[in-house]
Amino acid sequence: MKNVGRFDQMFRIIAGLAFLSLFFFLEGGYQYLSLVGIPLLYTALTKQCFFYRIFGISSCQLPSHKS
């Protein structure tokens, strides 16, 4: 069941790539904080968010029925 909408997906891709790019600019233990980008990219690519499912949230648009 997909629960990540188009805008949410694009935001997660951009944020995920931004976090992962920090890996090359941070030093020491802070470098591994950039790995937060991995789950963001995963949820964007699969369009499934575990936390959205737990709380019953969906950012997908409902299909409109034209009469």
The tokens describing 11, both together, are: 């935001």
pLDDT for residue 65? 57
Looking at residues 2-9, what average pLDDT do you find?
92
Looking at residues 35-48, what average pLDDT do you find?
94
Please provide the average confidence, as pLDDT, over all residues in the chain.
89
Looking at residues 38-42, what average pLDDT do you find?
96
Q: With 0-12 CB in 10 A as exposed, 13-18 as middle and 19+ as buried, what is 5?
A: middle
Please state, in angstroms and rounded to a whole number, the distance separating the CA atoms of residues 28 and 8. 31
pLDDT bucket at 57, cuts 50 / 70 / 90:
confident
Q: How far is CA 63 from CA 15, 32, 51, 55, 66, in A?
A: 27, 40, 23, 21, 10
